[in-house]
Structure 1
Amino acid sequence: MAELFIVGVDGSDGARRAAAFAAKRARCVGAKVLLLGVIEWSRYAFYTPEELETRGRDKQRATERAEREVLRPLAESLQGEGLEVSCLVRHGHAAEVIQALAEERGASEVFVGREGRSPFVGALFGSVTHRIVSTSNVPVTVVP
């Protein structure tokens, strides 16, 4: 069975570099690459009745947009030379979702960019990358 590399993708340059690095390594060892986009989504947030009415549709639209605008174009740019690349969108807290999926799928390694879409917010509230590195049971490669 081929190894599985999971790449956390958020549309940033850092995530694109992480995906390219993971693809290069995957070609060397015959691993599969799974591009994982995580849409921050809390089931514990408070919503108005009007927001609750559209919540399901909003979630579906966000999923479709992430696949169409971020994941599929990145996957297409990486494919070739026999590399198997797949895409998945999940909802929740990014670090938790990435870790859970890595364990669930038996991933051999997780790749993330050093900086995501907003390094300023990460510095204030704790970085997803830092949390993954600090708590993961799967080896993590951080790509600058």
Structure 2
Amino acid sequence: MEQWLRTPLLLMRARYRSPRGSIQWGRAGGGLLERLHEQIRAVFPGYRLLDLREKLGGLRIYVEGPPGSGDRLRSLIALAEVEAERTCEFCGAPGRIRSRDDWPGGWRKSVCDSCHSDWSARRIMIVCGVVRNRG
């Protein structure tokens, strides 16, 4: 069995790599994912993280737990996904889902007003879960 299947927290800390590869998500310190991991592990110690994706500016988290765990897992994950949509991906401040330059189409991220201007001007970006300044 691959390591990421046995230890979900290792996946969450490894610069947010999912079975499909790296996602461009940089929540400050990864605290949201670590809290979710601890909450799930407290109730279902043997759960498996199946996938972790960035989609439409939010996170999508897919896990597998023991029989009968579906409703409880879904409620924990739903709370984390809502929190992710309201947290700036760059600095961790309160934010909302926006596109670059507030253009109606295009790439969406959850950003605060301060980071939105830097992101729109392409001064900051996220690479393998780390926020980078572009000079």
Give the TM-score normalised by the residue count of structure 1. Answer: 0.29
Structure with the largest fraction of helix? 1
Flag the structure with more relative contact order, 1 or 2, with Cα contacts below 8 A and sequence separation at least 6.
Answer: 1
Give the TM-score normalised by the residue count of structure 2. Answer: 0.30
